[in-house]
Structure 1
Amino acid sequence: MRRSDVRTTLRNLLAPAAIASAMALLAASPAHAAVLWTADPASGTGSFSYTACDGGSITTHDGNDGHGPVFRLDKPTGSDRCEVAGAAGRTWSNDTTYWWGWKLRTSTPDAQTVFQWKSWGTGEEQQQNYPVLMKVEDGRLKIWYVAPGEVWKPVGSKEWTTTGYHKIELGITTRSDNTGSFALYVDGSLVVDQRSVRTWDDRGNNPRWGTYGSAIGDVDSTVWIDDLRLGQTRADVD
């Protein structure tokens, strides 16, 4: 047999074996975690555990901008809060990693608090009011770690514009000691990679999204939230 014929024969024999080997490797690989929850505008506020929007409104809105229906939260003058919280049918646990992804637009560069990893309880029932908190303030998205005793530690910021949506990806690994962590990507760029922090309070925590703060009690503030979802990895919410 000519040498070229030998090479051809070997290739033909090896190809099925290589394919079978690759398929076996894929089958042995762990399945990728799926999206665990999405906030569907068609369900309205039923997607969330509860809302807090005294005097304001939480509606769905289609701005004909390619995003389709999104959540619209309107906080009027005279109120300091319009928020949605939690995920209907889900609870949160210590020693767990959660990733949330959403697209956010604000009507003002001072929408103040747009996300809280809010602790349950009040007063002596909690050590941390909100271990992770994000604000849109002075034209920037600012992120804090708030340690026990209400010790605020700025951990990152990024320029914020009000002309369109920004993509937010936030991951929190919950720990009741100082071995927790959280990471934040904005428009695909890593803004925060915070480690060795306490991210789970005595009675647990719950996510909140919206526009909140005493500094904006005398102004109207609107936020739009699109494609809000929960997963176990960043890839699940990307």
Structure 2
Amino acid sequence: MHVRPRLLALTAAASAMVLLTSSPAFAAVIRNGEASQGLGVFEGVECPAPGSLVTSEQTDGHARVFRYTKAVGMDRCESRGIKTGGSAYTFRNNSTYWIGWEQNFSVVPGSGSDFVPFQWKSYPNSQQNYPVLMTVGNGMVQLKYVGPGEVWHTIWTREVKAFEWHRVALGIHTSDSASGGWIELYYDGIQRTFSNGSTRYTGRTWDSDNRPKWGAYDRGNTATEIINRVDRLMIGTSYADVG
């Protein structure tokens, strides 16, 4: 059977198109951490009894969420890192990560007290224990940059009330040089301006081996039970992945 050259060319093009469209698309989303998947999305849990980390059904428009309960007398109830493919995910230096989640607090401490619902934690820390973290207290939610030598900078502040849901999308470009890293923040879908007058804050954002932590860490006053509900947890390489 004789096949004309033009027909051969069309057949080859069609075959190439089938291969192209059937290949898996590149996904920039590193982890979809919806609570419906259970606690296995996390690398570890640090939540001593009688505190607890569970998934919980909600009746306020959020289906199933992670509920961190820091008990009275305890200083923390947190999750540590994430897993992908059943193994702990390794974050790396000189890389860009976007971390998104929604949070809802049972209490917003008044004057003289606060707690930490999120840390970009160093393991082990050598110069920076937590280069980036969030605090809740004095009626405010604040984003902090903590430079080498435990030098704290409040880079963003906003009023917050108990039992409000708010969406956080935090961009971190990792670098162990003094000016190589950066932080960006979207809060409730709006890019926020930092204390330096810019939407990007520059600093050292990588210490040794950094991982995200969510929950409630009470930095001194352990007399209050704190519940932090976390929903729609996402990690990717761009804001579009997590916003």
Q: TM-score band (shorter)?
A: 0.7 to 0.9
Which residue number in structure 2 is paired with residue 119 of structure 1?
A: 122
Which residue is equivalent to 1:190?
191
**Whole-angstrom CA distance in 2 between matches of 1:186 and 1:106:** 16
Distance 1:212 1:74, change over 3 A: same
Alignment-derived partner of residue 62 in structure 1: 57
CA-CA distance at 1:190 after TM superposition: 2.5
2:216 alignment partner in structure 1: 211
Gaps of 5+ in 2: 1-20
2:183–2:202 Cα contact (<8 Å) kept: no
Displacement of 1:45 in angstroms is: 1.7
C-alpha distance in structure 2 between counterparts of 1:237 and 1:59, whole Å: 23
Q: Distance in 2 between matches of 1:175 and 1:58?
A: 32
| Equivalences for residues 107-146 of structure 1 within 5 A | 107-110=106-109, 112-122=115-125, 126-146=126-146
What amino acid is aligned across from residue 182 of structure 1 in structure 2? I
Q: What is the TM-score with the length of structure 2 in the denominator?
A: 0.80
The answer for unaligned runs of 5 or more in structure 1 is: 1-26
SS for the counterpart of 1:215 is coil
Indicate if the aligned counterparts of 1:75 and 1:220 stay in contact, CA closer than 8 A. Answer: yes
Q: After TM superposition, give the deviation of residue 36 of structure 1 in Å.
A: 1.6
The match for 1:48 is 42
Distance in 1 separating the partners of 2:230 and 2:201: 28
Identify the residue that residue 225 of structure 1 maps to in structure 2: 230
**Equivalent position SS for 1:46:** helix
- Please say if residues 33 and 233 of structure 1, whose CA atoms lie closer than 8 Å, have aligned partners that are also in contact: no
Aligned-partner residue type, residue 115 of structure 2: Q
1:60-99 correspondence to structure 2 within 5 Å: 60-88=55-83, 89=87, 90-99=89-98
What amino acid sits opposite 2:154 in the alignment?
Answer: P
* CA deviations over 1:166-218 (Å, ceiling 9, x no partner): 000000000010210001111122234343310000x2211101111233311
Measure the CA separation in 1 of the matches of 2:55 and 2:127: 36
- Residues 33 and 236, structure 1, Cα contact 8 Å, conserved in 2: no
TM-superposition CA deviations, 1:19-39 (whole Å, max 9, x none): xxxxxxxx9xxx885322022
Q: After the TM superposition, which of the residue ranges 147-156 and 109-118 deviates more from structure 2?
A: 109-118
What's the counterpart of residue 199 of structure 1?
Answer: 205
SS of alignment partner, residue 67 of structure 1: coil
| Identical counterparts, % of pairs | 39
Q: Which residue of 2 aligns with 1:6?
A: none
The one-letter code matched in structure 1 to 2:202 is S
**Aligned AA (1:38):** N
* Structure with a larger share of its residues in helix: 1
Aligned length in residues: 205
Q: CA RMSD in A?
A: 1.7
Aligned to 1:176: 176
Name 2:13's counterpart in structure 1.
none
Write out per-residue CA displacement over residues 41-92 of structure 1, whole angstroms, 9 at most, x where no aligned residue.
Answer: 2332211001111121011111211210100010110101000111113110
